[in-house]
Chain A
Amino acid sequence: MSEIGLYSILIAMFLAAYSSFTAVVGIKKRRGEMIASAENAAVAVFGLLSLASVALIYALVTRDFQIEYVAKYTSRSLSTVYTLAAFYAGQKGSLLFWGWLLSLYTAIVIFQNRRKNRKLLPWVLAVMMAIDFFFVVLMVFVTNPFERLPYMPLDGQGLNPMLQNPGMIFHPPTLFLGYVGFTVPFAFALAALITGQLGDDWIKTTRKWTIISWLFLTAGNLLGMEWAYVELGWGGYWAWDPVENASFMPWIVGTAYLHSVMIQEKRDMLKVWNMVLILLTFLLTIFGTFITRSGLIASVHSFGESSLGWMFLAFLVVTLIISVGLLIYRLPDLRSKNQLDSLLSRESSFLYNNLLFVGIAFAVFWGTLFPIISEAARGVKITVGPPFYNAVITPIALTLLFLMGVCPLIAWRKTTLKNFGKKILFPTVVSAAGAALLYVLQIRSLLVLITLALCIFVSINLFLEFFNGMRTRHTLLQEGYLRALWNLVARNKRRYGGHIVHFGVVLLFMAMSGTAFNTEKQITVNKGESFKIKQYLLKYEGLSEYPTAGKERTVATLTVFNDNHKVGVLSPEKALFRGQENPTTEVAIHMTLKEDLYVILAGYGKDWATFKVLVNPLVVWLWIGGGIMALGTVIVMLPDRRKRKQSISKDTRAEAI
């Protein structure tokens, strides 16, 4: 079976090169049958890489330990779910997964564009297959997932215990789906630059790809945060580690792009800027892969330093040169006919938000690379950590939050200051009153007060958008209120879906402001003793041992009282996985809408145990906010009912402010 995998990737490599090359020759010589052949070859690459993936999964499931990858990431005692997850748990498998996803996306793109974009498609195909070729070459020559050991080990080394968490099942694939997805708009952008078809066809065609990729990247990052929170056991969910930054940067630039393309669609402006953003988003996904796999930057996650990182660097440089070269070549054709009419207009507010998004990305980029930059420039390694990111990004992010609230108040093209003042007055007064109330309720941190006031400000404006739109429909079209609300959203999915996403973002900000009030305590107690943290009383009941096939668990039991009401039992534990030297800490969390009670078993003896306990306010709103963002994004993507769109959108444009 593994031979099948080996030959599959080998043939896939030749076919990917053939497809890319033939597509270009086909369009140059105007030979339709060559383009068709290139398309077929690309579909065949998808088939072969699927076969290779199945072969690797088969080897994993059947525990074919002679394959080095299988021996390294699985063991006989590993459960089936994590055995399947081992497919993308290691470098080699994850490259195969990446290459396979890219070939799948290519096949879908070919299918979607059978009858449209025929001028762009060969170039899109050439770009995507060239990228896939790079990945398959790595698999064939550098890190072959089907490499065999000279002997047959009795058992494998097993999967790192930290990866044996439900997070492992969802986080990596989601992130990969997003990462790889941005290749599609990138390929279309390059094709547009090459062919000179610089209208917004490429943007419209790839709109859904962009949104889906963004959705996956958002979900992937949030799932990673959730995983870090429950698994790494330090009580937080984001540490500005280089690996986190690597996936944060393309996400933030992708977010900027999602916003700025709307300006091109509506006003035919910012063409160069949009090109730059999408090229940058893709380059940052490769850059992220490079820094995480080269071992260039010291990270808590050790990513097995390998030569692979440098190949990604070479790939990055080549892609960068091609992208920038093409962009400069087409610069004269990308001039926009329209100009900003006013500084106080919807367009300008998008421009500002873009500058801020890119500003955040740049700050993160600079902070991540600073150790290298300082070493090169001054010969000393200087690192920056969370305090740097908090100091720089907090003010920018809060400004973005403000813009998010202001944007719906500003009309396209131009708003008069007087009109704007009238609209902003009510939300400002309410949010100021809200902040005053919070102050009375003993919330004294200025930063938190500002954040929460802005959250109120944005929420009111979002609510008014829905409310006013609904009322107008009710009055003008005599629809019932619920019906009016439904129709309002259903007929303007992009706009109101976007508002829902924004409301999710408000919840994220609210959740993050909670970190200002984190409380923690470290304590050693004897069996039967109790201790307090805030209003919680925890009684230590004792330790129990549970040996299972895969691991040896030591579980502490604590009864938890909240203001003297028993709310449950928490069981933090340490588990020693077979074949591992170090125990794995499993935290226990009592989660409520108000706060999380987070308990770590730090050490234990015969009759005593030492705990680290944290009370983290509002954490659950991160996951709720993330869910709402996903819901809004899905609404944005739902297809429109074409026929009635025209007439309705006319009067909603008049009515919805």
Chain B
Amino acid sequence: MKPKFKPILISLVVVSVISYLIYTGIRDTMTYFLTVSEVLAQPSENQDQTLRVGGNVSPGSVQWDPKNLRLLFTIQDEKASIAVDYEGVVPDSFKPGGEIIVEGTYTGDGKFKATTIMPKCASKYV
């Protein structure tokens, strides 16, 4: 029985280590994915948290300063809206009215400082 037992033991160790890595990996890097209304529903809890927020870019809200690569816009869902402040290269697929996911920090008072913006491109590729 002994020779059969050892590989199982080692496998168990490998599996446990990997499970532990996954567990701590999720614990340390997880980001809540919320809608605009959900962010505003619990402003104090979400304050200064790293979040992902999904919504639509409000048409007419976009201000683009190409010299400083600063983009200001609001994202909204049916009920609420948040002002987003982003600095960086704007992805080609960004457009007013389009769906977008922003990642960054909720700084309170309906304001969001985004580090990444991920417009859902109207990609026609399957």
Contact = CB atoms under 8 A, between A and B. Distances in A.
Q: Do A and B come from one complex?
A: yes
Contacts, number: 166
Interface stretch (A1-9, A88-96, A189-197): A88-96
Interface stretch (B63-71, B74-82, B104-112): B63-71
Contacts of A392: 18, 21-22, 25
Interface string A375-419: 000001111110111011001100000000000000000000000
Contacts of B10: 343, 348, 352
B7 A380 contact: no
Interface string A143-164: 0000000000000010111110
A298 B21 contact: no
A392 B29 CA distance: 11
A10 B90 CA distance: 46
A224 to B, nearest CB: 11
A478 interface: no
A162 B121 contact: yes
Contact of B124 (A90, A387, A388): A90
Interface string B1-36: 001101100110011001001101110111111100
A363 B82 CA distance: 34
B113 interface: no
Contacts of B34: 381
Nearest to B87: A522
A137 to B, nearest CB: 18
A207 B121 CA distance: 40
Interface residues of B, number: 47
A33 interface: no
A339 B125 CA distance: 49
A522 B18 CA distance: 39
Nearest to B14: A355
Interface of B: 3-4, 6-7, 10-11, 14-15, 18, 21-22, 24-26, 28-34, 52, 54, 64, 66-69, 88-95, 99, 101, 103, 118, 120-126
Interface of A: 72-73, 89-91, 94, 157, 159-163, 232-234, 292-293, 298, 300-304, 339-341, 343, 348, 351-352, 355-356, 359, 362-363, 366-367, 370-371, 380-385, 387-389, 391-392, 395-396, 522, 524, 581-585, 600, 602-605, 608, 610, 612
Given A343-B10, A367-B26, A602-B69, 13 more contacts: A90-B126, A159-B124, A160-B125, A301-B125, A340-B4, A340-B7, A382-B31, A382-B33, A385-B103, A387-B28, A391-B24, A582-B95, A610-B67
Those 5 A-B pairs whose CB atoms lie nearest each other, nearest first? A603-B66, A381-B33, A359-B18, A387-B29, A91-B126
